[in-house]
Amino acid sequence: MRNSEILLLGGPNSGKTHYAGQLFGRLKRRPGKLKIRTGDGASVNLSALEDVLTQLEDGNSAEHTHADQYSEILFPLIDSNQISIDLYWPDYGGEQLYQVFKQREISSDWRRRLQSTDGWLIFIRLSGEKTYPDALSKLTSIPTNTPNETSRPEIWDANVYWIELLQMLCHVAGLNLSSKENKPPLAIVLSCFDEVLEEGQLPSEALKSKLPLFYSFIQTTWPNEITSIWGVSSLGKTLQPNSNDDDFIDEGPEYQGWVIAPEQSNKDSDLTAPLSWMLDNI
């Protein structure tokens, strides 16, 4: 049996928990290539995900994972070739990642995690990423009447944030940034993709248009064949804690949500696809 660890990277509110809940529903009720493995003593506690799924069955969104909450999600899986895989997926209040960036310090937990994982899964919710595309033109224009112009944005440009964060994580993981060698497979999940969906656009084009610097950083540091960029909408739409959405209630959460695979522009209902890709490339 292979024991694969996948590191989940993503800020707060990027859709990690709803994706995990929907993944659980799919694996349980509409298994495709991957199934949850049972009967060989694999012990698993997916009660947190049961709770998410229960909320979704009522057509409502689930509660936010708090900053101090850390759950280790372990999916005992078996694939269509009868290969057993224990997918270990740490889920946490995404603030932890922001602290890493802000304090320039990586805890021993994170260090261990970074050094031992087989693949990296990055969640980026494009609709919430802040960029300052006009900053450069402001810098180059000659200021006329700007007394006391000392205010600076509180939030970093998302290009800079992601590049710097990945540089720090690579450094700690012992990965060389000046060559493409020895990198783990990297899946970039553009989450809540329903919010930014443009007909006919590839996920990579969406990333390139919103975060061009980060996109070219990935292209120059990660080998193309082990990089994939996905558009993922776990819910297919926006839900509130009190939506009571009819589609979710009538058809079931396992029939909601979709994925747009790399180099594609059509939706597919297999939410497990980014993980299958990951497991095929580990």
d(CA 88, CA 24): 13
195 makes contact with ligand GDP (CB under 6 A): yes
Given ligand GDP, Mg ion, none, residue 278, with its beta carbon under 5 to 8 Å by kind, binds none
Long-range CB pairs of 263-271 (<8 Å, 24+ gap) are 263/202, 263/204, 264/202, 264/203, 265/199, 265/200, 265/201, 265/202, 270/26, 270/32, 270/33, 271/19, 271/22, 271/23, 271/26, 271/232, 271/234
Nearer to ligand GDP, 35 or 237 (CB): 237
- Residue 185 touches which member of ligand GDP, Mg ion, none, C-beta under 5-8 Å by kind: none
Out of Mg ion, ligand GDP, none, which partner does residue 238 contact, by CB within 5 to 8 A per kind? Answer: ligand GDP
Q: Applying CB under 6 A, which of residues 233, 253, 277, 279 lies at the interface with ligand GDP?
A: 233
Q: In angstroms, rounded to a whole number, what is the distance separating the alpha carbons of residues 65 and 82? A: 34
Point out which span in 1-9, 146-154, 230-238, 266-274 binds ligand GDP (CB under 6 A).
230-238
Amino acid identity at 281: N
Could you tell me if 222 and 120 are in contact, meaning their C-beta atoms sit under 8 angstroms apart?
no
Binding residues for ligand GDP, rule CB under 6 A, total: 21
Q: Which is nearer to Mg ion, 29 or 64 (CB)?
A: 64
User: Interface with ligand GDP by CB under 6 A: which range of 60-68, 144-152, 210-218, 273-281?
Assistant: 60-68
Report phi then psi at 277, rounded to 5.
-60, -45
Binding to ligand GDP, residues 3-22 (CB under 6 A) = 10, 12-18
> Measured from the CB of residue 67, what is the shortest distance to Mg ion in angstroms?
10
- Tell me the two tokens of residue 4: 């694969």
Which residues does residue 99 pair with via DSSP β-bridges, in sequence order?
Answer: none
How far apart are alpha carbons 28 and 137 in whole angstroms?
Answer: 52
Minimum gap (Å) between residue 17 Cβ and Mg ion? 3
Q: Could you say which of ligand GDP, Mg ion, none residue 59 binds, taking C-beta under 5 to 8 angstroms by partner kind?
A: none
159 binds Mg ion, rule: CB under 5 A = no
| Binding window for ligand GDP (CB under 6 A); candidates: 41-49, 79-87, 187-195, 260-268 | 187-195
In whole angstroms, give the CA distance from residue 230 to residue 197. Answer: 12
Q: Residue 100 CB, nearest distance to ligand GDP (Å)? A: 16
Residues 33-72 that bind Mg ion (CB under 5 A): 65
Who contacts 112 (Cβ-Cβ below 8 Å, separation ≥6)?
A: none
17 is a contact residue toward Mg ion (CB under 5 A): yes
Cα separation, 125 vs 145, in Å, equals 37
Residue 13 contact partner, candidates Mg ion, ligand GDP, none, CB within 5 to 8 A by sort of partner? ligand GDP
Contact between 254 and ligand GDP by CB under 6 A: the answer reads no
6 — phi, psi (to 5°)? -115, 130
Q: Which residue has the tokens 């070739």?
A: 81
Q: Tell me: does residue 99 bind ligand GDP (CB under 6 A).
A: no
Interacting residue ranges for ligand GDP, rule: CB under 6 A: 10, 12-18, 61, 64-65, 94, 192, 194-195, 233-235, 237-239
